[in-house]
Structure 1
Amino acid sequence: MTCLVTGFPSKIAALQFEWAWQNTHLTRHIAPDTRLTQAKSTVRISPKSGRARKRTARPRMCLTDKLANLHLLLRASSFERWPLKVIFYAEDIHRVWVKLTSQQIEKLRPGIEVNFDDSSKFSAAGELDEPVAPKGIHALDVGYTGFKERLERSKITFESADWLHCAICHKGLSSGGALTLVCPDEDCAALTHIECLSARFLQAGSNREAIVPTSGNCPGCATKLQWVDLVKELSLRMRGEKEVNAIFKKRRRTKKQADAAAADEASEESAEDEEMDDAIPQDDWHELPESSDVDIDEPVMRSDPSPALKSKAFKRPAPATSYSKPVIEDSDWDKAEVLA
C-alpha cells in the first residue's frame, strides 16, 4: 500500500470515490472539458450474432496521471467539502505528489489533510522496530471502536436526563436522541439540534453557498468539532445497531491467550501452595516410626492391595483347621433275619 484516502462519511461514499478515481474518463463528478484523460470507444463485432457493440476502453495511465486525477477529484464540488485525508506510505510516491501539487495553480481546500506516514520504514540496523502500538494501515479505525466511550456517554445522557434542550435554540429535544448531536468533550454536556448546529457552522464559515458544514466550535465549551464525527456518532446511535453490537461484544480469547491465562493460574496456585506450606510450623509434624520398630503382628493398612506390593512378613498365619475322625455307629442290619 503506497497511498490511502480516508475520512469518508459512509461506505457508499467511499465506493463512489473509488469508482470515480478508477474511471476518471467516465465519471460525472468531473466536467468533460476538465478531464485529464478522455474516453476511447472501440467497436467489436460479435461472432455469434454479427452485431457491432461499442465499448469504452479504459485508457492507460502512469503514476503521475493517477495522482493528477486524485488531485482533480479532491477539488471537485462533490468531494471538496468532505473531511478527507490522504496518507502516503511510500517516500518516492510522496515526492511525486509534492512535485505535482507544487505545479498546480488550484490548491486543495485547507480542510483536506495530506500526510506522509514513515512508521513502517526500516531502522538503521535493517530490522523493523518492535511495534508498541498499531502503525500504518493497522492504526486506522475501520470498526468504529473509537466511538465506544461516546456512545456510552450519550446513552447515559438520554436515559438519566429528565428534560433535554438544545444549547442554541433552547427548545426541547427528542428523548430518544433522534436528530440530536452530542458534544464529544467529556466535560461538556451540550446537546443541539442537527439543523441548529449546521446553520451555526455554516454562518461561521467562509463559504456562504455551502450546504454541508465541515467544522465549527461547540456552543457549550467552544471546542473545535468536526462535522463528520458528530454525524457518525448520530448515525451509529440511531441506525447502526449491528455495528454498535459489534463494538460492545466481548472478544473471545484465542488459543494462545487461553494457554497463557492457564499458565498464569497454575503459577498462582503453586505460589499459594508454597505459602501454605511455609505457614505450617514444623513442630506440628508427627514423627513416624522407623521400619524396624513396626510390630509384625499388627495389621498394616495399605492403599494399594495389589499382591505385588504385599510383603510376606506382614502376612498373618492362617488359623489351623482341626479334623476329627468319623464315627460309625452300629447298623441295624445285624439284627435282620436271614430268609432261606
Structure 2
Amino acid sequence: MSVLPKPIPPLYTVYILRSTVRRASLYVGSTPHPPRRLKQHNGESKGGAVRTSRSTLRPWEMVGLVSGFPGMVAALKFEWALTNSHLSLHIPSTSRINVATQKKRNGHPKRPPHSVTSILSNLHLLLRVPSFARLPIKLHFFAPDVHRAWIKWCGTSNEPLRDTINVVTDFGLAANASTEGDKEITDATSQPWGIYALSLDYAPIKDYVEKTQSAFAFEREGDCVVCGEGLNPGEGLYAACSNAGCEGVGHVSCWSEHLLGKEKNDSIIPVSGRCPKCEGQVRWGEMMMEMSLRLRGQKEISKLLKKPRKRKAAISNDT
C-alpha cells in the first residue's frame, strides 16, 4: 500500500517536561500537539509515558520546547539525540558533554541522569551540529528559571548559535503575578499563555497561502525572480516570496542557490535571505512549508481558507 506524501506539519515539537512536585525530575519527548500531550502525561487523558505515570511526580509542566521541525522523523531524531546525548552519533565524540560512567545489566552504557543544565547544554550543542544546524528552529521557554539557565549557558559557551534561531519567552502568570502576603494574586481573565498560546494549525501563514493560491490559480507565475527564465504553470517546483504584496516566484533550485550565496560550496540547505524582487527577508523553512501545502495539502488549504458561515437572520416573531 502506497503512502501519499503529506505537507510539512504546522507544528512538531520536542519538549522538556518537569515535575512540579519534584523539580529535579525531567523528561524529554516529542509531539505535534503540546496541550494534548501534557494532559496525557498528567493522566487526564489516555496515553502518556510510563516514566511520567507516577502519581508522586504529577502534575508535570512543560518548561520549554523546540519547534520548527519539518516532520515527525526529524523531531524524533532530535528527541532521541537530546535524551541519549551520551550515545547519539549526531554528536562527535570529541564534542560530547555527557559521558556514560555506568552500564546496564545487558552491558550497554547507562544514560546519565538529566538536569536542566545538562539538557540545555546538549540542546545548545545539537543546534550547532550539521544534522540540525540549518533547520528553521525556534526555542520557546515557559519558566523564568529555565530561561535564565539557558542565557547563562549561552554566555559561557565559546560556540555561538546562528543568529536566525528565534528564542521566545512566555511566562504568563509566573511573570505577571503579584503577591499579597502569602496569597498569589492573578488576573482571572488573562489570555492563554505558554503551550496553550501556540498555534497548532497553519493560521500563521494564512495570508501567505492566500496570496500564492491566487497567483498560481490565475497562472501569474511570470519569470523566475532569480534566473529570469519563464515559469510554465504546473510544470515544475516553484517557491514564492512570503512578503505581502510581492508575487516573486522562482525555481526551488534557483531560490536555494540565491539564498545560500557564498555558502553554496559548504551547504545545500538555505536558512534565510533576501527576495531578489522586493528585497524583503524570506525564510527557507516557511517557503518550503507553503510549497508543500500547495502541492500536497489541498484539504488543509480548503480548511484554512474556508470562510465562516453567515448566521441566518433571526425569524421575526410576527411570522
Could you state the TM-score of these two structures normalised by the residue count of structure 2? 0.69
Question: Which has the bigger relative contact order, CA under 8 A and spacing at least 6?
Answer: 2
Equivalent-residue separation in structure 1 for 2:102 and 2:300 (angstroms): 43
Distance 2:249 2:260 in 1: 18
Q: Distance in 2 between matches of 1:61 and 1:39?
A: 12
TM-superposed deviation, 1:7: 1.8
Among 201, 211, 215, the residue aligned to 2:268: 211
Greater strand proportion: 2
User: Is 1:218–1:224's contact at 8 Å kept on the other side of the alignment?
Assistant: yes
- Post-superposition Cα deviations, 1:128-174, rounded to whole Å, max 9, x if no partner, equal 35245x53223322322223333232222122137732122121224
Contact 1:174 1:180 in 2 (8 A): no
Whether the aligned pair in 1 keeps the contact of 2:243 and 2:282 (CA below 8 Å) is no
Larger radius of gyration between Structure 1 and Structure 2: 1
Number of residues of Structure 1 aligned to a counterpart in Structure 2: 252
Looking at structure 1, the residues matched to 206 and 125 of structure 2 have their Cα atoms a distance apart, in angstroms, of: 36
Q: Which amino acid aligns with 2:113?
A: R
Deviation of 1:59 (Å):
1.7
Q: Following TM superposition, by how much is the alpha carbon of 1:249 offset from its aligned partner in structure 2, in angstroms?
A: 5.8
SS at match of 1:66: helix
The 10-residue stretch of structure 1 (165-174 or 229-238) with the greater mean CA deviation from structure 2:
165-174
The list of structure 1 runs, each at least 4 consecutive aligned residues, that deviate by more than 6 angstroms after superposition, is: none
Contact 2:64 2:139 in 1 (8 A): yes
Q: How far apart, CA to CA, are the structure 2 residues paired with 1:187 and 1:251?
A: 25
Give, as a single letter, the amino acid of the residue that structure 2 aligns with 1:73. Answer: L
Asked whether the equivalents of residues 246 and 278 of structure 2 are also in contact (C-alpha less than 8 Å), the reply is yes
- Whichever residue aligns with residue 17 of structure 1, its letter is F
Instruction: State the alpha-carbon separation in 2 of the partners of residues 163 and 233 from structure 1.
Output: 15
Aligned counterpart, 1:173: 231
Using the TM superposition, give the Cα deviation of residue 226 of structure 1 relative to its aligned residue in structure 2, in angstroms: 0.7
Q: Quick check: 2:236–2:251 contact (8 Å CA) kept in 1?
A: no
The partner residue of 2:155 within 59, 78, 102 is 102
- Asked if 1:38 corresponds to 2:91, the answer is no
Taking only the aligned residue pairs, the percentage that are identical comes to: 36
Match of 1:194 in 2: 252
Structure 2 unaligned segments of length 5 or more: list them.
1-61, 180-184
Residues 16 and 241 of structure 1, relative CA distance in 2, 3 Å threshold: farther
Deviations 1:79-137 (CA, angstroms, capped at 9, x unpaired): 122221212111111122222221111111111122322334343371135245x5322
Contact kept, 8 Å, 1:178 with 1:238, in 2: the verdict is no
Gap change, CA 1:184 and 1:56, over 3 Å in 2: same
> Which of these residues, 95, 116, 124, is aligned with residue 178 of structure 2?
124
Specify whether residues 144 and 178 from structure 1 end up closer, same or farther in structure 2 by C-alpha distance, changes over 3 A only.
farther
CA distance in structure 1 between the aligned counterparts of 2:274 and 2:240, rounded to whole angstroms: 13
Show structure 1 runs of 5+ residues with no match.
45-52, 253-260, 277-340
The aligned amino acid for 2:169 is F
Kindly indicate whether residue 282 of structure 2 is the aligned counterpart of residue 221 of structure 1: no
Q: Distance in 2 between matches of 1:41 and 1:118?
A: 37
Structure 2 residue matching 1:37: 3-state secondary structure? coil
**What's the secondary structure of 1:2's corresponding residue?**
strand
Kept in 1: contact 2:104–2:110 (CA 8 A): no
Asked if 1:79 corresponds to 2:140, the answer is: no
CA distance in 2, matches of 1:237, 1:223: 22
- The match for 1:316 is none
Q: Provide TM-score, normalisation by structure 1.
A: 0.65
List per-residue Cα deviations over 1:257-299 (Å, max 9, x = no partner): xxxx89x947xx45xx5xx9xxxxxxxxxxxxxxxxxxxxxxx
Q: For residues 146 and 62 of structure 1, do their structure 2 counterparts lie closer, same or farther at Cα, with a shift above 3 Å needed? A: closer
Letter in 1 for 2:294: R
**Alignment partner of 1:90 out of 143, 148, 154:** 143
Report the counterpart of residue 146 of structure 1 in structure 2.
204
- Once the two structures are superposed, the pairs formed by residues 253-292 of structure 1 within 5 Å of their partners are 265=314, 269=316
Amino acid at match of 2:201: G
Change (3 A) 1:163 1:70: closer
Alignment check: 8 A CA contact 2:293 2:301 kept: yes
Q: Deviations over 1:10-65 (max 9, x none)?
A: 23222221111111111111012221122456464xxxxxxxx4334222122211
Residue of 232, 235, 240 corresponding to 1:182? 240
Give the RMSD, CA atoms, in angstroms. Answer: 3.0
- Structure having the higher helix fraction is 1
1:247–1:113: structure 2 CA closer, same or farther, 3 Å change rule? same
Inter-partner Cα distance in structure 2 for 1:177 and 1:11: 29
Give the Cα–Cα distance (whole angstroms) in 2 for the partners of residues 192 and 224 of structure 1: 16
Give the corresponding residue for 1:291.
none
Corresponding position of 1:235: 292
Secondary structure of 2:107's match? strand
One-letter amino acid matched to 1:71:
H
